[in-house]
Structure formats: C-alpha cells, structure tokens
Structure 1
Amino acid sequence: VEEVGSMNIMFKIDGEIYTAPCVGTVLPGVTRRSIIELLKDWGYKVHEERVAIADIMKAADEGKLEEVFGTGTAAVVSPVKELDWEGKAAHISGGKIGELTQKLYDTLTGIQWGKLPDTKGWTVPVDAQ
C-alpha cells in the first residue's frame, strides 16, 4: 500500500488525504513533499501514517474512497483507477481522473513549465551559457 514502483501512493478518503510516512520503502521525494505542501495550502488534512489495505478497501465499500494517485518524479501525479486485494476490486472515480488528481497535476506541471507563477520558490533558473 505504501509504494507503487518508484511512486508514493496517496488516498483521498472522505475528503482527507492519507499517505504512508517516510520510513522503510517510502520515498522522501521532492514531488511527494511538493504535493503534500499544495494539499495543505488548499485546506486538505494530510495524514502521514500507515494505512492498512483492509481499511482502504472498507472505505471503498462505504463509498468514501474518492481518489487514489501516485506521485513521483517521472509521472508527477498518476491516477489509480482500480485496487485489487484478496479477490475484491475497488473501482475509483468511475475509472476517470479525479478532480483533485487533475488539479495537482495541472498545478505542479504548470509551475514546472513556467505557465503558472511559482509562489513557492521551487523553480531555479538555469543559465543557458
């Protein structure tokens, strides 16, 4: 539940964000940190704690699992549309990119490409010489 390939995974459950803490196999990456900072700026409560897959599947059964996405350098933010565990499947966001997932992707790539203002001081100009 903590990591997908070289991505960190986050869950939006009942309006709050859950992701594993940076211990063990969880990557303490720049993208993860940037996403968490944006989420907090936008008023989301972010829980950095271990989450059992059983609890995630229960949230899905109760209709509370709203979005799941991975974060990482290459993909920036990547939606997850289905979770499978012990023969049960949880379909997320009707198989579409969730609204928050899309907003995070658009914001971070917008800052990276200079299409949105960098109010965080995350980008560093590179001298072309």
Structure 2
Amino acid sequence: MNYVPGTASLIDDIDKKHLVLLRDGRTLIGYLRSIDQFANLVFHQTVERIHVGKRFGDIPRGIFIVRGENVVLLGEIDVDRSCSALLQQVSIEQILEEQRVQQQAKQETDKVKLQVLKDRGLSVPKADNLDEY
C-alpha cells in the first residue's frame, strides 16, 4: 500500500463507520460519505453521542457536514465489536438530564475556584473574553 499525504488518505475510509471528535467537545458517529481537500467531511446516518460517566445516549442527527478545521480526532469504528461491556446506553432524555446536572456542578465548582483566586488577589479573565487569549 502506498502512502498518500493529506486528506486524500481518507479515500479508503469512505462508506465506513467513523467516530469524530469536534473542537467544541461533541462526539459524532456516522458513515463517512465524502471529503474534500480542506478535510471537510460529510457523514450519513449520524448520531451525536453524549457521555456522562459510564453512560451514553445517542441523538440522531442524519446527514451532518463537518468543517475540517473543527475536527480534533477521526477514527474508524469496528462495527463487529460491542461497547456494551464498558458503557450503558440510556434514553436521550435521561442522558440530557445527567449532562445538565454535570454541567451545573461544573459551573458551581468553577465559581468557587474563581472566588478563591479573587480572594488571593489574582485577576482572572471573564469567561466572555477567553477567546481573546
């Protein structure tokens, strides 16, 4: 097999099931249908997988276009191997509720950390301005 540089190396992966991790933290699973020279990806039968602890839920998304600059990780999924031994699948409603509770707990922890830093005289940028740094 010859080495093909860049996104051309993904041509052999078309029509295979893949997992893609996006820059915003979302995880998508679907069949890779198309690519271009900018690593833009088109997925079919896509689901967004949400993980909370050892549980997960899948939200159907259908056809999904991912801009190449947002891809952190892309990997083929072994469709013959089951993940049920490691993770427990739950309903969409249940995983969304667990995610909301987890995010609230993180926000409260972040508030406490921010207050401790302020009490020690350290300046911390506001969350709105984090993209500037």
Q: Same fold (TM over 0.5)?
A: no
The structure that has the greater radius of gyration is 2
Higher strand residue share: 2
Higher helix residue share: 2
TM-score by length of 1: 0.28
TM-score by length of 2: 0.28
**Taking CA–CA contacts closer than 8 Å with sequence separation of 6 or more, which of the two structures ends up with the larger relative contact order?**
1
